Amino acid sequence: MTSLKTRLTQSIKQPVKAALNQVRDLRGAHRAHLVEPTLWILMYHRVLPVNDPRCETEEPGMVVTPETFSMHLEEIQRWMPIMALEDWVRRYEAGEPLPEKACAITFDDGWLDNYEYAYPELKRRGLVASIFAVADKAGQAAPFWPNRVADLVLRQSPLLRQNPVLAPAAELLGQPYSRDTVSACIQSLKYHSEDTLNAALDNLGEATQPENSPTPDLMPWSALRELDISGVFTIGSHTRTHRRLNHASSPEQRHDEIVGSQQHLQQQLGHDVPLFCFPNGDYDDASLRLVREHYRAAVTTQNGLNRHGSLDLHQLKRIGVHEGNAKTPLQFRARLSGLG
């Protein structure tokens, strides 16, 4: 009975969603004549083939396939040029002419799969993008607590029952593995700080490290330098450890995440790092002030378009795209529309 009800609900929702996407597409800003220069910034995380085992421990909202990413690039170029975010910001600051519409492509975290799949596609097309790297995590396997939690659930590890902080994940033991369910669990765990969550996982012992990590999950410095030198990618900061900045425990910790990460990247790359990305889109007034002092621009996770006349360079909006919301050209154009 439940399965039948679910199928009936889906049979109703899908045509409604398709109709809404058609309206968004037809009425979207990407098709309109705009009175002021407008910047689209797309937010990506991972680019992985559908059968890649790395998908198993990643949230669905974090992944596009190489085929979907290629389609996105084709669609963007139908409507506007793709520009490097740093270049658009420089022109804006200098008062130079800007195109009516432009799109900047950004990737968060610095995943190795960006090097494997996004880089060759962008290079082949002569396009540019930005990567926001987590400075202290370069070259590491299983660098973030959500992936560690997902791996423990996938392996049905009873260790999850040892710490009450991880109780929402422990409740998934014995249930069929679902990336959507794990993603919902991860959202609930964000009530805690990174320090609390990492401590809870570390206290479970080495068995909390994923078993299938023979290579790093995040790009090593050699790959980041190659991307930087290639001219295809601009490298920006995503803090030292991916700590949500509204969870910083002290001014010193906040400074280290924001300014220390910039210094680390500059030492490794040999040049200025002017762009910043707020982890998880979370920050407070003190963090924003510090970012304003040390970076030319910063991106958030707030959804929307960046219009010339109402622009804050340190709170730039982005449009998150992934396999679940932008798998088809129509879905993707609906995301580009700026209508939700």
The domain boundary, picked from 178, 208, 238, lies at 208
0.95 exceeded by pTM = no
Q: Mean pLDDT across the stretch 98-125? A: 98
318 or 206, higher pLDDT: 318
Which of 44, 230, 273, 213 lies closest to 119, judged by CA?
A: 230
Q: Do 92 and 189 sit in the same domain of this protein?
A: no
DSSP 177: P
Q: Do 304 and 332 sit in the same domain of this protein?
A: yes
Q: For the segment 136-177, what is each residue's pLDDT rounded down to a tens digit?
A: 999 998 789 999 999 999 999 999 999 999 999 999 999 999
- Lookup: tokens for 8: 């009936």
Query: Does residue 213 belong to any structural domain of this protein?
Result: no
Query: Does residue 325 belong to any structural domain of this protein?
Result: yes
Query: Does residue 6 belong to any structural domain of this protein?
Result: no
Question: What is the distance between the alpha carbons of residues 111 and 132, in angstroms, rounded to a whole number?
Answer: 10
What is the count of structural domains for the chain?
A: 2
Which of 119, 121, 103 lies closest to 111, judged by CA?
A: 119
N-term to C-term CA, the chain: 34
Query: Does residue 133 belong to any structural domain of this protein?
Result: yes
Q: Do 249 and 127 sit in the same domain of this protein?
A: yes
Domain residue limits at 76: 28-141+218-336
User: Residue 129 belongs to a domain with what CATH number?
Assistant: 3.20.20.370
Q: Do 61 and 130 sit in the same domain of this protein?
A: yes
The pLDDT value given to residue 184? 97
Question: What is the distance between the alpha carbons of residues 70 and 244, in angstroms, rounded to a whole number?
Answer: 31
Q: Mean pLDDT across the stretch 247-269? A: 96
Strand stretches in the chain, DSSP E: 38-44, 46-47, 63-64, 101-109, 129-133, 233-237, 275-277, 297-303, 306-307, 316-320
Q: Do 65 and 179 sit in the same domain of this protein?
A: no
Cβ-contact 121, 233 below 8 angstroms: no
Query: Does residue 60 belong to any structural domain of this protein?
Result: yes
The pLDDT value given to residue 16? 85
Beta bridge mates, 303:
318
Question: What is the distance between the alpha carbons of residues 162 and 224, in angstroms, rounded to a whole number?
Answer: 38
Q: For the segment 265-300, what is each residue's pLDDT rounded down to a tens digit?
A: 999 999 999 999 999 999 999 999 999 999 999 999
Q: Do 90 and 168 sit in the same domain of this protein?
A: no
Confidence check: pLDDT of 248 > 90: no
Q: For the segment 66-111, what is each residue's pLDDT rounded down to a tens digit?
A: 999 999 999 999 999 999 999 999 999 999 999 999 999 999 999 9
DSSP element (H, E) containing 147? helix 145-154
Question: What is the distance between the alpha carbons of residues 231 and 269, in angstroms, rounded to a whole number?
Answer: 13
Which of 324, 322, 107 lies closest to 218, judged by CA?
A: 107
Which of 158, 182, 184 lies closest to 170, judged by CA?
A: 158
Three-state secondary structure of 104-141:
EEEEEECEHHHHHHHHHHHHHHCCCEEEEECHHHCCCC
Q: Mean pLDDT across the stretch 110-117? A: 98
Query: Does residue 98 belong to any structural domain of this protein?
Result: yes
Q: Do 224 and 203 sit in the same domain of this protein?
A: no
Confidence check: pLDDT of 214 > 60: no
Confidence check: pLDDT of 9 > 70: no
Question: What is the distance between the alpha carbons of residues 233 and 129, in angstroms, rounded to a whole number?
Answer: 5
Q: Do 137 and 151 sit in the same domain of this protein?
A: no
Q: Do 230 and 324 sit in the same domain of this protein?
A: yes
Q: Do 177 and 234 sit in the same domain of this protein?
A: no
Q: Mean pLDDT across the stretch 299-321? A: 97
Q: Do 128 and 235 sit in the same domain of this protein?
A: yes
Confidence of residue 328 (pLDDT cuts 50, 70, 90): very high
The pLDDT value given to residue 206? 59
Query: Does residue 152 belong to any structural domain of this protein?
Result: yes
Q: Do 249 and 134 sit in the same domain of this protein?
A: yes
